[in-house]
Amino acid sequence: MSAEYNIIKLHEGRVVDDEEISLMQLSRICHLPPEFVVELVDEGILEPDGDSASSWRFSFSMVERVKTVARFQHDLDVNLPGAALALELLDRIEELREQLLHR
């Protein structure tokens, strides 16, 4: 299944699989410049597979993470280090919820 098909499915509101996408695809899906995504990688918010930006591959699940950071910045005026901390805390909360559910 191609990433372009997954992009269409995402826009239609359907669940997509966790296929990997390129920097440019992630940027286009999130309606953000590629430079913003590079900043997220530099800050440690995203961890792509690949050695350089031209070969980076991102999990499709990173789309929500990128959009969340963009909302933090736009709506709350949070800088990237603050967004990274907020995401880390949200991830930890989710881990704790999962632990409680499996007890």
Tell me the CATH number at 74: 1.10.1660.10
Show the domain range for 20: 3-101
How many domains would you assign to the chain?
1
4-13, 16-25, 54-63, range with greatest mean pLDDT: 54-63
Q: How would residue 19 be classed by pLDDT, with cut points 50, 70 and 90? A: confident
What's the chain's average pLDDT?
A: 87
pLDDT of residue 50 exceeding 90, the answer is yes
Q: How confident is the model at residue 18 (pLDDT cuts 50, 70, 90)?
A: low
| 20 bridge partner residues | 59
Buried-exposed string 61-96: b where 16+ CB fall within 10 A, e elsewhere: ebbebbeebbebeeeeebebeebbeebeeeeeeeee
Name the pLDDT band for 1 (thresholds 50, 70, 90).
very low
Residue type, 39: E
